[in-house]
Amino acid sequence: MGSGHLTIDLGALAANWTALDAKTACETAAVVKANGYGLGADRVARTLARAGARRFFVAVAEEGSAVRDGAGPNVDICVFSGHMPGDTEMISDLGLVPMLNSLDQVLRHFEALPGHPFGIQLDSGMNRLGMEMSEWAAVAEIAIEQRPVLLMSHLACADDPDHPMNARQLAEFRRMTDGTGVPRSLAATGGILMGPEFHFEMTRPGIGLYGGLPFADARPVVHLDLPVIQVRDVEAGETVGYGNTWTAPAPCRIATVAAGYADGITRHLSDSVTMWHGDTPCPLRGRVSMDLLTVDVTACEEEPTALSLLNHRQGVDDLADIAGTIGYELLTQLGHRYARRTTGP
Ligand SMILES: *Cc1c(COP(=O)(O)O)cnc(C)c1O
C-alpha cells in the first residue's frame, strides 16, 4: 500500500463525547463542521448519535447532508451560518435548523419557510457571527413569538479560562437572553471546562471530541502511520532533500516515507519533527516535500516498513505546536490520500 494509514478510533471519539457530557447537567450536542474536523462527518455523526448525541452543528448547510446520512432522521442538525441566500431548499429538504445571524436572515427565513424550526445566534463580543444587542432588541419580541429552538453565542477566549473576556461575554449573553425562556447555549469545549455558569441548557463541543486541547483529558482519536518506500545509506557530509538544508554529520540510514505537504504535513515541520518506529524516535531530516519525507532511521534495530507520525506519544496538539499552529488546523488539513480505517466502538 503506497499511501499512509489514518486510523480513526471511534471508540475514543464516543468516549470523549461521554466524558464531556458527564461534566455538565445539560444537553451535549456535537460540532461536526468541516467534515467532522477532517475525520468524516458521516462516520463521526453516526458514532456520536449512537453514543447519545441528539443535536449536531455544521458551519454551512451543504455540510448537513453527510450528517443526516450518518446520524439519521431523528437528530437536529443546526447551521452556524444561518439561512443564506439559496439555502431554502436544502434547509427544508434536509430538515436543517439555521441559526439566524441577522435581521436579513430572520426576514428571509420567516418569509421562505414560515413555521420551520430555527435558532438565533447572538454576538456577545467576538464580532464574528450573530446579532448585536441593538439589532436583537429590535427583533427579539417577534423572533421569540415564533419560538426559536435555541439562543446561542460563542466565546472568543475560552481556551484561556482566566481571560476577562469570558466573564464579559457571559454577562452580555445573559443581558441579551435572561427572561426569554428559550433554551440557551454558550459553551464549546473550552466553555464546558470553565464550569456550570457557562453551560445553560446545551453545550456544543467540537475539538475535545476529536482529542484536542483544551480538553487535556481527551483520549487521542487519530493515529497516522506512513509507509517507507525505500531506505538508503548516507555518508557523512552528504545532504538530504530539497535545498540541501540538512547535511549528515555522520554515516546514517535515511528512510523515504510516502506523505508530504500535499497530505497536510505542513512544510513548517521541515527539519523539526520526529516520527516513531515503535519506541524509537526517528527525526525528520531536510525539507518536507509534496509527497515525501526523509527520516533518519539509523537508531532502528530492524529496517522499518512504516513510521508513525501521530500516536500516543505525539498527538495532534504536539504536532501542531511544532508546526506553529493549533490542533484544529492540523486535523482539518489531514489529506485525502490517506487510507482511512476506523476502530471501535
Ligand atoms: C467551532 C465552533 C464550536 C466548537 O468549538 P470547539 O472549540 O471545537 O469545541 C462551537 N460553536 C461555534 C459557534 C463554533 O464555530
> Per-residue pLDDT tens for 8-52?
999 999 999 999 999 999 999 999 999 999 999 999 999 999 999
pLDDT of res. 275: 98
Question: Residue 293: inside a domain, yes or no?
Answer: yes
> What's the pLDDT band for 1 if we cut at 50, 70, 90?
low
Residue 220 in contact with ligand 1 by CB distance below 6 A: no
Grid cell 481556551 is found at 159
Strand stretches in 131-260, DSSP E: 151-152, 184-185, 202-203, 222-234, 239-240, 246-247, 252-257
**Domain carrying residue 261:** 222-343
- End-of-domain residue from the set 210, 236, 261: 210
Question: Residue 2: inside a domain, yes or no?
Answer: no
Instruction: Please state the domain count of the chain.
Output: 2
pLDDT of res. 116: 98
Question: Residue 1: inside a domain, yes or no?
Answer: no
Instruction: Say whether pTM exceeds 0.85.
Output: yes
- Residue to mutate, 56, 80, 332, ligand 1, most ligand atoms under 8 Å from C-beta: 80
Pairing assessment for the beta strands 96-100 and 119-121 based on DSSP bridges: parallel
Is 210 annotated as catalytic?
A: no
pLDDT digits (tens, 9 = 90+) for 181-193: 999 999 999 999 9
Q: Which residues contact 246 (CB under 8 A, 6 or more apart)?
A: 239, 240, 271, 285, 286
Q: Which residues contact 107 (CB under 8 A, 6 or more apart)?
A: none
Same domain, 239 and 331: yes
Give the CATH number, domain containing residue 85: 3.20.20.10
- End-of-domain residue from the set 177, 210, 243: 210
Grid cell 430572520 is found at 106
- End-of-domain residue from the set 180, 210, 240: 210
pLDDT of res. 344: 86
Question: Residue 4: inside a domain, yes or no?
Answer: no
Same domain, 173 and 288: no
Residue 80 in contact with ligand 1 by CB distance below 6 A: yes
Using the predicted structure, report yes or no on whether residue 237 has a pLDDT greater than 80. Answer: yes
Residue 205 in contact with ligand 1 by CB distance below 6 A: yes
Same domain, 106 and 242: no
Does the annotation list 202 as a binding residue? no
Q: Which residues contact 138 (CB under 8 A, 6 or more apart)?
A: 103
Task: Report whether 120 contacts 150 (CB < 8 A).
Answer: yes
Does the annotation list 176 as a binding residue? no
CA 235, 238, 242, 246 torsion-angle sign: positive
Same domain, 286 and 322: yes
Task: Report whether 96 contacts 82 (CB < 8 A).
Answer: no
pLDDT digits (tens, 9 = 90+) for 95-116: 999 999 999 999 999 999 999 9
Q: Nearest to residue 259, comparing CAs of 233, 224, 283, 231?
A: 224
Question: Residue 93: inside a domain, yes or no?
Answer: yes
Same domain, 206 and 226: no
Task: Report whether 160 contacts 167 (CB < 8 A).
Answer: no
Question: Residue 332: inside a domain, yes or no?
Answer: yes
Same domain, 196 and 239: no
Q: Nearest to residue 298, comparing CAs of 313, 281, 279?
A: 281
Question: Residue 215: inside a domain, yes or no?
Answer: no
Same domain, 288 and 246: yes
Same domain, 119 and 63: yes
Cell numbers found for residue 280: 524509537
Using the predicted structure, report yes or no on whether residue 74 has a pLDDT greater than 90. Answer: yes
pLDDT of res. 2: 80
Mean pLDDT, range 317-335, rounded to an integer: 95
Same domain, 98 and 43: yes
Angle, CA of 55, 83 and 125, to the nearest 5°:
80
Atom of ligand 1 nearest to the CA of 37: 8
Same domain, 97 and 188: yes
Question: Residue 216: inside a domain, yes or no?
Answer: no
Q: How many angstroms separate the CA atoms of 281 and 145, rounded?
A: 61
Same domain, 205 and 172: yes
Q: How many angstroms separate the CA atoms of 59 and 98, rounded?
A: 10
Give the CATH number, domain containing residue 316: 2.40.37.10
pLDDT of res. 186: 98
Residue 338 in contact with ligand 1 by CB distance below 6 A: no
Same domain, 195 and 147: yes
